[in-house]
Structure 1
């Protein structure tokens, strides 16, 4: 549904991992994903 870079760009400025995961799943739904949607956010510093 989205590339790795698109995912990074979409949540780059979101500090909270749960909020970031919600944002990514909402984006997948808005892009009409035809599959089950799962999301794990891992922060690297």
Structure 2
């Protein structure tokens, strides 16, 4: 498997983006009020 695209429900999209960006190295590629697309190249 080369990549996976999980959908993870969260209560606070802004906090989730912050966590995944700062702690796990993801970049928000697209964001709306109820979902976001984050990517990370390995």
Q: TM-score range by the shorter chain?
A: 0.3 to 0.5
Q: TM-score, normalised by structure 1?
A: 0.35
Relative to total residues, which structure has the larger strand share, 1 or 2? 2
Identify, as 1 or 2, the structure richer in helix. Answer: 1
Q: What is the TM-score normalised by the length of structure 2?
A: 0.36
